[in-house]
Structure 1
Amino acid sequence: MNLPSIVIALILLIIVWFYIDFTLGRKKHLSIFGKRETPILHGNFDIFPHGKELFVDYFHELKMAQRHIHILFYIVRDDQFSQQFFDILKTKAKEGVEVRLLVDRVGSNKVKKTVINELRQTGVQFAFSNRIRLPFIFYSSQVRNHRKISIIDGKIGYLGGFNVGKEYIDEDPKLSPWRDYHLKITGESVPFLQHEFFIDWNEYAPDNVTLDSFYAPEQPKGTIPHQIVPTEAGFLEERYLRLIQKVKKSIIIGTPYFIPSKKLMDELISSAKRGIKITIVVPYITDHMLVQEASYRYLRLMLKEGAEVFQYMNGFYHAKSIIIDDQLCDIGTANFDKRSIFLNKEINCYFYDPAFVDRFKDIIQKDILDSKPLKLTDLNKPHFFRSLKEGIAGALSFFL
Structure 2
Amino acid sequence: MKNIVGIGLLILMLVSTWHFLLNDVDGGLIFYSSLILTLFLVIIGFNIFLENRDPIQTITWLVIFCAFPFIGFIFYYLFGRNFRKERIFRKKYFLDKQTFVKISGEAGYNERIKEMGEHPQQLITLANRLGNSPVSFTTETRVLRNGEETFSNIIEELKKARHHIHLEYYIVRDDRIGGLLKDILIQKVKEGVKVRFLYDAVGSWKLARSYIDELKNAGAEMVAFGPLHLPLLNNKFNFRNHRKIIVIDGSVGFIGGLNIGDEYLGQDQKFGSWRDTHLIIKGEAVRTLQLIFLQDWYYSTNNSFLSDEYLMTGMPNHHGYGGVQLIGGGPDSEWTIIKSIFFKMITSAEKSVWIASPYFVPDDNILQALKVAALSGLDVRLLVPKNPDKRIVFHASRTYFPELLASGVRIFQYNEGFMHSKIIIVDDQMASIGTTNIDMRSFHLNFEVNAFLYRTESAQQLVNDYMEDIKVSKEVEIDEFSKRNFGLKLLESTCRLLSPLL
TM-score under structure 1 length normalisation: 0.92
1:4 deviates by: 7.8
Instruction: Give the letter aligned to residue 207 of structure 2.
Output: V
Which residues in structure 2 correspond to 1:208-287 (within 5 Å)? 208-215=303-310, 216-222=312-318, 223-233=321-331, 234-287=336-389
Higher relative helix content:
2
Residue 198 (structure 1) aligned with residue 257 (structure 2): no
The number of residue pairs the alignment matches comes to 399
Residue 10 (structure 1) aligned with residue 37 (structure 2): yes
Question: 1 CA distance for matches of 2:436 and 2:90?
Answer: 22
Structure 1 counterpart of 2:464, from 349, 359, 362: 362
Aligned partner of 2:136 in structure 1 is 41
Question: 2 CA distance for matches of 1:298 and 1:7?
Answer: 38
Q: Is the 8 A contact 1:236 1:342 kept in 2?
A: no
User: 1:162-205: CA deviations, max 9, x gaps?
Assistant: 11111011110222211111001101101111111010011112
Q: Is the 8 A contact 2:257 2:420 kept in 1?
A: yes
Question: 2 CA distance for matches of 1:202 and 1:110?
Answer: 24
Aligned partner of 1:25 in structure 2 is 84
Alpha carbons of 1:343 and 1:117: their partners in 2 closer, same or farther (altered >3 Å)?
A: same
User: 1:324-353: CA deviations, max 9, x gaps?
Assistant: 111211111101111111111111111111
1:354 deviates by: 5.8
What CA RMSD, in Å, does the superposition of the two structures yield over aligned residues?
Answer: 2.4
Instruction: Give the letter aligned to residue 23 of structure 1.
Output: N
SS in structure 2 of the partner of residue 239 of structure 1: helix
1:138 deviates by: 6.5
Q: Is the 8 A contact 2:251 2:284 kept in 1?
A: no
Question: 2 CA distance for matches of 1:193 and 1:366?
Answer: 29
Q: Is the 8 A contact 1:51 1:168 kept in 2?
A: yes
SS in structure 2 of the partner of residue 159 of structure 1: strand
Is 283-292 or 371-380 further displaced after alignment? 371-380
Question: 2 CA distance for matches of 1:81 and 1:12?
Answer: 51
Q: Is the 8 A contact 1:178 1:315 kept in 2?
A: yes
Instruction: Give the letter aligned to residue 365 of structure 2.
Output: K
Alpha carbons of 1:279 and 1:160: their partners in 2 closer, same or farther (altered >3 Å)?
A: same
TM-score under structure 2 length normalisation: 0.74
1:82 deviates by: 1.2
SS in structure 2 of the partner of residue 286 of structure 1: coil
Residue 60 (structure 1) aligned with residue 156 (structure 2): yes
Alpha carbons of 1:352 and 1:133: their partners in 2 closer, same or farther (altered >3 Å)?
A: farther
Q: Is the 8 A contact 1:104 1:144 kept in 2?
A: yes
SS in structure 2 of the partner of residue 142 of structure 1: coil
Alpha carbons of 1:175 and 1:272: their partners in 2 closer, same or farther (altered >3 Å)?
A: same
Aligned partner of 2:174 in structure 1 is 78
Give aligned-pair identity as a percent.
34
SS in structure 1 of the partner of residue 316 of structure 2: coil
Structure 1: runs of 5 or more not aligned: none
Aligned partner of 2:205 in structure 1 is 109
Q: Is the 8 A contact 1:101 1:126 kept in 2?
A: yes
Instruction: Give the letter aligned to residue 144 of structure 2.
Output: F
Q: Is the 8 A contact 1:187 1:221 kept in 2?
A: no
1:37 deviates by: 3.7
Q: Is the 8 A contact 1:37 1:230 kept in 2?
A: no
User: 1:133-173: CA deviations, max 9, x gaps?
Assistant: 89995751111111101011111100100111110111102
Instruction: Give the letter aligned to residue 202 of structure 2.
Output: V
Larger radius of gyration: 2
Aligned partner of 2:434 in structure 1 is 332
Instruction: Give the letter aligned to residue 194 of structure 1.
Output: Q
Residue 185 (structure 1) aligned with residue 281 (structure 2): yes
Aligned partner of 2:186 in structure 1 is 90
Is 316-325 or 132-141 further displaced after alignment? 132-141
Instruction: Give the letter aligned to residue 85 of structure 2.
Output: R
Aligned partner of 1:150 in structure 2 is 246
Instruction: Give the letter aligned to residue 57 of structure 1.
Output: N
Alpha carbons of 1:301 and 1:72: their partners in 2 closer, same or farther (altered >3 Å)?
A: same
Structure 2: runs of 5 or more not aligned: 1-27, 49-79, 98-129
Is 285-294 or 378-387 further displaced after alignment? 378-387
Question: 1 CA distance for matches of 2:228 and 2:317?
Answer: 40
SS in structure 1 of the partner of residue 84 of structure 2: helix
Alpha carbons of 1:84 and 1:17: their partners in 2 closer, same or farther (altered >3 Å)?
A: farther
Is 275-284 or 132-141 further displaced after alignment? 132-141
Q: Is the 8 A contact 1:231 1:346 kept in 2?
A: yes
Q: Is the 8 A contact 2:327 2:338 kept in 1?
A: no
Q: Is the 8 A contact 1:149 1:158 kept in 2?
A: yes
Alpha carbons of 1:11 and 1:153: their partners in 2 closer, same or farther (altered >3 Å)?
A: farther
1:59 deviates by: 0.9
